[in-house]
């Protein structure tokens, strides 16, 4: 492995220092603005689920209800998200995301009102289901990067790594803000601010028309759903289990911190989890990696699964923070590799939808994991709850091993940058 130099030697000026890969990708006009808007819009992803858990536990003390509510929101987003992204591929981001966001905001407002007034549980669940219109902002931003760097796979690798850093930065800041506001101010404060971030991010992103990917009309979608790809199905199935890890860790960590008498510290512990992933993603984006992408992905999934084992020995918050930091080191690199595999296995006309399907698998897993963890915590206590992410990790590794053959060799899209690069690499190997 060596550090990636985006500018070959023959193009360098001896008087000018070579920029790093992250600096290089932001040379594209408008890239800073849409990435910043994506950061704001994605804050809702890290704040809403944990905010609902904190809100309901503060108002009712029922972690089972909190997990079910978070699960309902995640499952609804999982069902609606890919359909929204398919519409985005056909009609463009602006025409689809703005009305969808308005529906989501109205549903979140109803959810917070029903919680505040103590309405029956079914009203909370109904509003949570309606809030599933929340767009996959991360997929929208990654689609913009893919359009800009479609002929530069190394720059695209750095862009995906950067967006993974942004994802983890959201998960560092989001839980801290959401849990902190809901415990120190009023229970609904965290989800309320998450809704504000969603509105600001989506409307700012969709106002930037110059970098919006060109929509593909209906006649370019004759192949059906992106999920027809066997490789994509493997990725989605694996990420259901990975999502269960994330959802369970969130719920159990809040409950464990409460048992330790420091509930607000849960936000800091979860931020440490995201910090480990953020640092690993930053380094990963600087590396120029050889070898099989699918093999790196399999190793990443196994590393995530193994990292759940030390959580079974957790005895206090400092130990938990260290264990989660180490566990986070394998998350962002695996996410970057996953997006690279999606980009290889899915036609460009379905790219946003394909990326959203991975997020959908993750959301379904979060729903299942948070719900299962909530019931385990209610029945057996917080320490027992950490068995849920361990089981989910084992399932993720099993699915990844079973589906590995479908990911290698990755079928290249016709005319794709990856396809041209692979053909060039093979030609160079033959000459050598």
The pLDDT, as a whole number, for residue 340 is 82
The pLDDT, as a whole number, for residue 103 is 93
Spatial neighbors of 44 by CB under 8 A, at least 6 apart, are: 134, 137, 194, 195, 197, 198, 201
Residues 38-94: tens digit of each pLDDT: 999 988 877 887 788 788 878 877 777 877 887 788 778 878 888 888 888 888 899
Q: Whats the size of the chain, residue-wise?
A: 432
The whole-number average pLDDT for the span 178-194 is 87
Instruction: Point out the least confidently predicted range of 60-74, 91-105, 150-164.
Output: 60-74
Contact by Cβ (8 Å): 368, 71: yes
2 domain-assigned? no
Place of tokens 């940058």: 417
Tell whether the model's pLDDT for residue 18 goes beyond 60: no
The rounded distance, in Å, linking the Cα atoms of 188 and 259 is 22
Tally of CB atoms within 10 A around 261: 8
The pLDDT, as a whole number, for residue 218 is 60
The pLDDT, as a whole number, for residue 396 is 95
At 14, is the pLDDT very low, low, confident or very high (cuts 50, 70, 90)?
Answer: very low
* Mean pLDDT of all residues belonging to the chain: 81
107 domain-assigned? yes
Q: pTM of the predicted model, to two decimals?
A: 0.72
Q: How many structural domains is the chain composed of?
A: 1
Tell whether the model's pLDDT for residue 178 goes beyond 90: no
Higher pLDDT, 399 or 357: 399
Q: Which residues of 182-198 are buried (b: 16+ CB within 10 A; e: fewer)?
A: bbeeebbbbbbbbbebb
**What is the separation, in whole angstroms, between the first and last Cα of the chain?**
20
Higher pLDDT, 317 or 287: 317
Rg (the chain; Cα; Å): 21
Place of tokens 């505040």: 116
Domain that holds residue 236: 30-216+226-426
Q: 392: alpha, beta or left, given left = phi > 0 and alpha = psi -120 to 50?
A: alpha
376 domain-assigned? yes
Q: Which of 39-48, 94-103, 153-162 has the highest mean pLDDT?
A: 94-103
The whole-number average pLDDT for the span 184-194 is 88
Which residues of 162-249 form beta strands (DSSP E)? Answer: none
Contact by Cβ (8 Å): 372, 214: no
CATH number, domain containing residue 338: 1.20.1250.20
* Adjacent-strand bridge partners of 3: 287
136 domain-assigned? yes
134 domain-assigned? yes
The rounded distance, in Å, linking the Cα atoms of 146 and 370 is 32
Q: What are the two backbone dihedrals, phi and then psi, of residue 287, each rounded to the nearest 5 degrees?
A: -90, 145
Q: Which of 160-169, 192-201, 350-359 has the highest mean pLDDT?
A: 192-201
Residues 323-367: tens digit of each pLDDT: 999 999 999 889 888 888 887 888 777 777 888 888 788 878 877
Q: What are the two backbone dihedrals, phi and then psi, of residue 417, each rounded to the nearest 5 degrees?
A: -65, -40
Tell whether the model's pLDDT for residue 12 goes beyond 80: no
12 domain-assigned? no
Long-range contacts, stretch 55-62, CB < 8 angstroms, 24+ apart = 55/112, 55/115, 55/182, 55/187, 55/188, 55/190, 55/191, 56/115, 56/124, 57/254, 57/258, 58/182, 58/183, 58/187, 59/115, 59/118, 59/187, 62/378
The pLDDT, as a whole number, for residue 202 is 94
Spatial neighbors of 432 by CB under 8 A, at least 6 apart, are: none
21 domain-assigned? no
């Amino acid at each position: 492995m060596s550090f990636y130099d985006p500018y070959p030697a023959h193009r360098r000026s001896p008087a000018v220092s070579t920029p790093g890969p992250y600096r290089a990708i932001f040379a594209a006009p408008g890239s800073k603005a849409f990435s910043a808007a994506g950061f704001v819009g994605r804050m809702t992803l890290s704040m809403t689920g944990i905010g609902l858990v904190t809100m309901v536990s503060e108002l009712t003390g029922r972690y089972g209800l909190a997990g079910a509510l978070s699960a309902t929101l995640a499952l609804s987003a999982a069902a609606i998200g890919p359909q929204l992204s398919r519409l985005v591929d056909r009609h463009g981001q602006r025409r689809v995301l703005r009305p969808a966001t308005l529906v989501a905001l109205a549903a979140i407002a109803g959810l917070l009102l029903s919680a505040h007034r103590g309405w029956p549980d079914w009203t909370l669940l109904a509003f949570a289901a309606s809030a599933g219109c929340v767009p996959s902002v991360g997929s929208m931003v990654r689609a913009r990067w893919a359009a800009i760097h479609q002929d530069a796979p190394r720059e695209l690798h750095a862009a995906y790594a950067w967006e993974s850093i942004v994802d983890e930065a959201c998960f560092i800041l989001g839980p801290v803000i959401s849990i902190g506001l809901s415990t120190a101010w009023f229970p609904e404060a965290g989800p309320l601010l998450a809704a504000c971030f969603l509105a600001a991010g989506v409307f700012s992103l969709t106002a930037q028309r110059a970098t919006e990917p060109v929509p593909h009309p209906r006649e370019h979608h004759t192949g059906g759903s992106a999920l027809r790809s066997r490789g994509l199905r493997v990725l989605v199935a694996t990420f259901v289990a990975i999502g269960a890890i994330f959802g369970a860790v969130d719920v159990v960590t809040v409950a464990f911190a409460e048992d330790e008498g420091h509930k607000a510290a849960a936000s800091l512990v979860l931020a440490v989890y995201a910090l480990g992933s953020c640092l690993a993603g930053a380094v990963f984006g600087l590396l120029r990696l050889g070898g099989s992408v699918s093999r790196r992905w399999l190793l990443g999934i196994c590393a995530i699964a193994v990292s759940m084992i030390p959580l079974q020995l957790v005895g206090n918050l400092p130990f938990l923070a260290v264990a989660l930091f180490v566990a986070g080191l394998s998350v962002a690199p695996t996410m970057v590799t996953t997006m690279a595999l999606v980009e290889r296995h899915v036609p460009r006309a379905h790219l946003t939808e394909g990326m959203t399907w991975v997020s959908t698998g993750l959301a379904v897993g979060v729903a299942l994991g948070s719900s299962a963890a909530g019931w385990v915590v209610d029945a057996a206590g917080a320490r027992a709850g950490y068995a849920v992410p361990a089981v989910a990790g084992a399932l993720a590794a099993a699915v990844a091993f079973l589906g590995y053959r479908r990911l290698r060799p990755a079928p290249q899209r016709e005319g794709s940058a990856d396809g041209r690069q692979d053909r060039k690499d093979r030609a160079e190997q033959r000459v050598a």
